[in-house]
Chains A and B, each alone.
Chain A
Amino acid sequence: NAGVMQNPRHLVRRRGQEARLRCSPMKGHSHVYWYRQLPEEGLKFMVYLQKENIIDESGMPKERFSAEFPKEGPSILRIQQVVRGDSAAYFCASSPEQGGAFFGQGTRLTVV
């Protein structure tokens, strides 16, 4: 049973470009979460999704950021027109119905 898979591991984008981060949850897990970690800080919740539904996006900036978890395929976190302040590690976690969360290895986004 493969763990949570995130790709790419590292992503470099120039200011103004788009970043797409992918997450495939563990088999049998129906919940996906995205968290952001700035250097020397803890993880901050961004968005919580189930298949084809956004359950809670209270931690996600209203502009430039969007997330989806389609019926088929991985969950995608999309950041449009990236700025230097978007540079961070983005972690995806998946969870079974009964709770707990298992994390992927993260995507480190660097905006230059």
Chain B
Amino acid sequence: EPEVTQTPSHQVTQMGQEVILRCVPISNHLYFYWYRQILGQKVEFLVSFYNNEISEKSEIFDDQFSVERPDGSNFTLKIRSTKLEDSAMYFCASNREVRESRRPTQYFGPGTRLTVL
């Protein structure tokens, strides 16, 4: 069964450093997302991406964040200067096109746990 993969599974970084979280969505999917979950809290939407551009972003997704699809398979989330409060689990997700008559599943990756010291 196809799956979304994410690397690394755990990233530890110093405050102020840049990090790049990587995701490989399912190959025939067109829509990509990043979510984050601070420990013990709910899952929060960060950004959605389609056709090589951001289609929606939340208020959390400020200028410190950026996303990119550098090639045909990877989808990355970059945090330019990490803060302590960026420590969280980051989930990537993808889906095929959504139509009313079809109900494609949004597949989540296993997550990257980011720890900012």
Interaction A to B: no
Could you tell me which A residues sit within 8 Å of B by CB distance? none
Could you tell me which B residues sit within 8 Å of A by CB distance? none
